[in-house]
Amino acid sequence: MKIAVPKETKLKENRVALSPDVAKDLVKKGFTVVIEKGAGASSYFNDELYTAAGATIVNDRKELFATADVMLSVNAPSAQDIANMKKEAILLSFMYAQTHPELVEACSKAGISAFSVDAIPRISRAQKMDALSSQANLAGYKSVIMAADALGKIFPLMMTAAGTIKPSKVVIMGAGVAGLQAIATAKRLGAIVEVSDIRPETKEQVQSLGGKFIEVKGDASIKIEGGYVKGVSDEFLKMQQELIAKHAAEADIIITTALIPGRKAPVLISEAMVKSMKNGSVIVDMAVEQGGNVVGSKLNETVITPNGVKILGESNLPSLLPLNASELYAKNISTFLLHLASSEAFKWEMEEEITKGSLIVHKGVAVHPSVTKQPVTA
């Protein structure tokens, strides 16, 4: 079976789907691995490393897509690239199919099958395939480093002959994978960390990392599936904002991480809250690509408000750590591939939980409930 890895074309994307080490492992398992020329360059993997691993380098992108049995990528390819794939070929990538119907249509027209790594069920035996978590972990770390760089003061308490410097205060909105790594990183740098999350079960995790939990009483509108918040009422968000407002006014840094799969990101930081913050304080909106948690954030821009607050809107934080991000993603996607197939063929175990949960299009037919309007069953 021929596996192909293209060079990513999305703006600000530095990752690659396979590292040389993982490519070598797949070659040993009997797969043929073909890499587009320069695909790993932005992740510090040159073509010679792939060649040494047993992969073949191809310069013709159209040929790469036309001859692949399986295409592995970080982001879904363009509709034109998908159109070049041979019928019944298979794509594995991030798709976010519910909000990108044009990708589903392109896969259907091409007669291919497509699995989305962001749709892999959140179950224990799929942990090694969980690319959402591996990338969010890195993003949480990088968000703190970026905020620290943009802030005009240090994080830790420092006692000097010239006086005592108070520690910075960091408020983190959301204690998922990214939020927990942000807490740990900010604490290691010496900050006082306060954390808000609508899931009460995260309180113990926050406290175990040294954070102070800002508790908002939950209500029946909160819907949680597979560890992710799937829905919450506007009334609850308003109540959360009111509680967070006083913490925001005292914060040196706010990091927001809240996402709802298939929907626009909820607004957590209002214009009034931004106006209440101190001159020189920093906000990192990690949800900016999905519409943003912060009023006034802009995609891939740093906004400086009239009162001197910096709002960082970086769209692809894992891509800023491409070496680590690519290594982790390669392990995720190769584990996923080896679950679905041998080097000879795909198993097509259609009722198996991971296959059923992640298969978006099968041989040109959209099959996932999120794109066929069928009710999603637990």
Q: Is position 228 annotated as part of the catalytic site?
A: yes
- 138: exposed, middle or buried (Cβ count in 10 Å: 0-12, 13-18, 19+): buried
Give the H or E element holding residue 250.
helix 234-250
Helix runs in 251-348, H state only: 271-276, 322-340
- CA 264 from centroid of its chain's CA atoms: 15
Which position among 25, 130, 197, 285 bears the catalytic label? 130
Q: What is the DSSP letter of 265?
A: P
**Closest alpha carbon to 25 in 2, 53, 57:** 53
Torsion, CA 201, CA 203, CA 204, CA 208, rounded to 10 = 140
**Distance separating alpha carbons of residues 320 and 376, to the nearest angstrom:** 35
How many Cβ atoms from other residues are within 10 Å of residue 166's Cβ? Answer: 12
Pairing state of beta strands 56-58 and 70-75? Answer: unpaired
Q: Is position 61 annotated as part of the catalytic site?
A: no
- 335: exposed, middle or buried (Cβ count in 10 Å: 0-12, 13-18, 19+): middle
Which position among 42, 133, 276, 315 bears the catalytic label? 133
- CA 287 from centroid of its chain's CA atoms: 10
Which position among 42, 78, 122, 199 bears the catalytic label? 122
- One-letter-per-residue 3-state SS of 293-313: CECCCCCCCEEECCCCCEEEC
Burial code (b: 16+ CB inside 10 Å, e: under 16) for 94-125 equals bbbbbeeeebbebbbebebbbbbbbbbeeeee
Q: What SS3 class is residue 303?
A: strand
Which position among 21, 118, 228, 315 bears the catalytic label? 228
**Closest alpha carbon to 282 in 260, 306, 303:** 303
Q: Is position 263 annotated as part of the catalytic site?
A: no
**Residues 170 and 191 sit within 8 Å (Cβ to Cβ):** yes
Which position among 80, 127, 208, 233 bears the catalytic label? 127
**Distance separating alpha carbons of residues 147 and 276, to the nearest angstrom:** 18
Q: Is position 127 annotated as part of the catalytic site?
A: yes
**Distance separating alpha carbons of residues 102 and 111, to the nearest angstrom:** 14
Residue with tokens 């589903």: 104
Q: What SS3 class is residue 318?
A: helix
Catalytic residue ranges: 122, 127, 130, 133, 228
